[in-house]
């Protein structure tokens, strides 16, 4: 069964906003898809099928602090990854679990 990656509207909106400042984000996103599809990633398990992964920002080579964070929800039964949000570590230090749950509920991923 192949992996299906789905962008939620919040992710798409955040991505478009970041693309205005970081011209290489599309290339970075393509690398993210390759990483997720290969299942060889070092995502941090946030519990309840929520994960966070660091994505290198090739437009801003200032190390980990200048990279992007992508949060996603993984439905194991359907083998689907739902991309919830993307943000620059320069802009947002962390995303709360309650905000992730709210995004998932709004998108009917959880009850």
pLDDT, one tens digit per residue, over 59-96 is: 876 666 678 999 999 987 888 999 999 999 888 888 88
Q: How confident is the model over 21-55, as pLDDT tens digits?
A: 999 999 999 999 998 888 766 899 999 999 999 99
Domains and CATH numbers, the chain: 4-106 (3.30.2310.20)
**Which residues of the chain form beta strands (DSSP E)?**
4-7, 44-47, 50-55, 68-75, 80-88
pTM over 0.85: yes
Distance CA 66, CA 73 (A): 23
């Amino acid at each position: 069964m192949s992996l299906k990656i789905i962008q939620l509207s919040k992710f798409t909106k955040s991505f478009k906003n970041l693309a205005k400042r970081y011209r290489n984000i599309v290339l970075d996103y393509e690398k993210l898809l390759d990483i997720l599809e290969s299942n060889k990633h070092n995502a941090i398990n946030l519990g309840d099928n929520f994960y966070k992964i660091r994505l290198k920002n090739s437009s801003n080579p200032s190390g980990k602090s200048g990279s992007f964070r992508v949060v996603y929800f993984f439905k194991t039964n359907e083998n689907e990854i739902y991309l919830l949000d993307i943000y620059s570590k320069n802009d947002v230090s962390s995303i709360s679990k309650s905000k992730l749950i709210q995004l998932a509920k709004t998108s009917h991923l959880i009850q």
